Structure 1
Amino acid sequence: MTLRIRTIARLTGIREATLRAWERRHGFPRPSRSEHNNYRSYSREEVENIRRVAKLIADGLSVSEAIAQVQATPVQALPRGERLSERFWSAVMMMDAEAVRRVLDEAQASMEVEVYCNGFLMPLLREMGMRLDVAREHMASALIRQRLIGLLNAEEPRTGGPHVVLACPAQDHHEGGLLALGLQLKRRGWRVTMLGADTPAEALHSACAQLSPEMVALSFVRRREPEELATVLGEAVRACAPARVVVGGPGAREHLKTIFSLGAQYAESADELLALWQQARGVQTRT
């Protein structure tokens, strides 16, 4: 499977004219040419190398330095994690779902669960919006979400730990971070109920009335205006009462004052959420 220069330019942000200029001046990349129309076609290896050059240039290297570094260090010579990441991105660019699955299989077989989740899958998920068009992002995020669901379901449930309900609020459909959080909490002995994406306040109220969880964690990924976030979070806090509500995600970072004013708390990671829980338990014990 190969890609045309127009597709490469769209996916990497490097103009077609720039790619042709690199080819003339640096002998890079080296596309094949079709016999009947002489169109440039780029192999998977060339796609990987172009993407690596683009990243190095974005990191501050000159074009010649970036090309020289990529040519001196082929993908096969990179550390395992980087090599797998490069293979993942090239397979996604080719829209080769089976190749993506093979990369994810290989990474999962070679990594401990939390390293695989937090050190491999989640960085890929966070970068997708910047790297991919809509079709490729949907395909890749769906495959990673499947992996995270599988990891979460495979973790043996435990009894006796605190109970947490996890959800994305209404109109927020990106649940990858929420799944990763659920996995980390479950591995630490928590009982996890996953409500998932686009959960309205009514569903939160029903779940909390039935389960009486100690905590509800909400993941805000989609950017919202302050008034919208205040409305959505206010409804959620009231729906979950008396459970403690902790908010996280990139869509919440710029609204900390609003979050605290509504009686919720903010956590950037699973460790911060656990620290908030321990702090709350300490206050209850002293009381």
Structure 2
Amino acid sequence: MTLRIRTIARLTGIREATLRAWERRYGFPRPLRNESNYRVYSRDEVENIRRVAKLISEGLAVSEAIAQVRTTPVGELPVGERLEERFWSAVMMLDGDEADRVLGEARAAMDARTYCDAFLMPLLREMGMRLDIAREHMASALIRQRLRALLLAEDSPPEGPRVLLACPERDMHEGGLLALGLHLKRKGWRVTLLGADTPAEALRSACQQVHPDLVALSCVRRRDPGELQQVLSASVKACAPTLVVVGGPGAREHLKAIFSAGAQYAETAEELVLLWQQARGESNRT
């Protein structure tokens, strides 16, 4: 499978005219020509263009980036970087089987924590900047499957506090939520996962059923402060009197809205646990 220059430009952010100029000046990239004499790019060329674009974004000059990619083939990169490059290349070619195969190879080469924190989550965070909607949907679905498998494979403690994990209504991105669940399980928490797009009424029903010690909401979808406060206020009311802690990139910029809704904010699993411990200590003193 090959890609046309227009697609390469859209996916890398490098203009078609720039790619043609690089080809004339540096002999890079080296596209093939199809029967209509249009430039088409192989998987290897797609991979190299993406690497050059990344190096330029990190501050290298074009000539330096191209030289580095030429002198360090993908096969000579460290294992994690090599697998990342292969994954992005497969996704850009819409080759789901190869992308999933790369994720499997990475799992075999890494322990669960490294696989989650240093491989899968960075891939998930970069998608919005790298991919169009079709490729993002394919890639994120593959990564969520892997994160969910990690979470299910982790043994649940027989005792310990219980956390209810969900994304608020209309928030479909549950990757960070799955990673949080894995970390909390490792800390001795029992995890009940509701997942994406969870309305307040579903939170209410779940809280009445499982009586969690903590409710954690992951907000990735961008909302204005007023909308976020409204959604969180409904969630806090539904979960009362259980502490609700919010995290995620969709919440980070709106701390005032979070606190006004009666929720707390945490960046990490460690911060979340600390907030719960503090709240429990205050409850015991009253």
Shorter-chain TM-score category? Answer: over 0.9
Cα drift, residue 285 of structure 1: 4.9
Deviation of the 1:25 alpha carbon: 0.5
Amino acid at match of 2:262: G
Which letter does structure 2 place at the counterpart of 1:189? G
* Shift in Å, 1:165: 0.3
Is the aligned partner of 1:39 residue 2:38? yes
Aligned to 2:259: 260
1:9 equivalenced with 2:15 (yes/no)? no
2:189 is matched with which residue? 190
* Cα deviation digits, residues 127-161 of structure 1 (max 9, x gap): 10110000000000000111111111111211111
1:279 deviates by 2.7
Question: One-letter code of the match for 1:6?
Answer: R
Which residue of 1 is the match for residue 24 of structure 2? 24
- Return the TM-score normalized by structure 2: 0.97
SS of the counterpart of 2:160? Answer: coil
Residues 158-200 of structure 1: CA distance to partner in whole angstroms, max 9, x if unpaired?
A: 1111000000001111111001111111122111001111101
CA–CA distance in structure 2, aligned partners of residues 139 and 120 of structure 1: 17
Which segments of 5 or more consecutive residues in structure 2 lack a partner in the other structure?
A: none
Q: CA deviation at 1:282?
A: 3.8
Unmatched segments (≥5 aa) in structure 1: none
Structure 1 residue 284: deviation in Å?
A: 4.2
Q: Which residue of 2 aligns with 1:121?
A: 120
Q: Deviations over 1:229-267 (max 9, x none)?
A: 111100100100111100001111111112123321100
Q: Deviations over 1:38-93 (max 9, x none)?
A: 22221111111101111111111111111111111111111111111111000000
Quote the offset at 1:281 in angstroms.
3.7
SS at match of 2:166: strand
Deviation at 1:22, TM superposition (A): 0.5
Output the CA distance in 1 between the equivalents of 2:10 and 2:105: 29
Paired with 2:79 and 2:273, the residues of 1 have a C-alpha distance of: 31
CA distance in 2, matches of 1:55, 1:174: 25
Q: How many Å apart are 1:107 and its aligned residue?
A: 0.3
> Secondary structure in 2 aligned to 1:109?
helix
Determine the C-alpha separation between the residues in 2 that align with 1:220 and 1:232. Answer: 11
State the secondary structure of the residue aligned to 2:146: helix
Letter in 1 for 2:141: A
Q: What TM-score results when the alignment is normalised by the length of structure 1?
A: 0.97
Whether the aligned pair in 1 keeps the contact of 2:226 and 2:257 (CA below 8 Å) is: no
1:14-163 superposed matches below 5 A: 14-34=14-34, 36-163=35-162
What secondary structure is seen at the aligned counterpart in 2 of 1:253? coil
RMSD: 1.2
Tell me the secondary structure at the aligned position of residue 84 of structure 1: helix
Q: Compute the displacement of 1:222 (Å).
A: 0.7
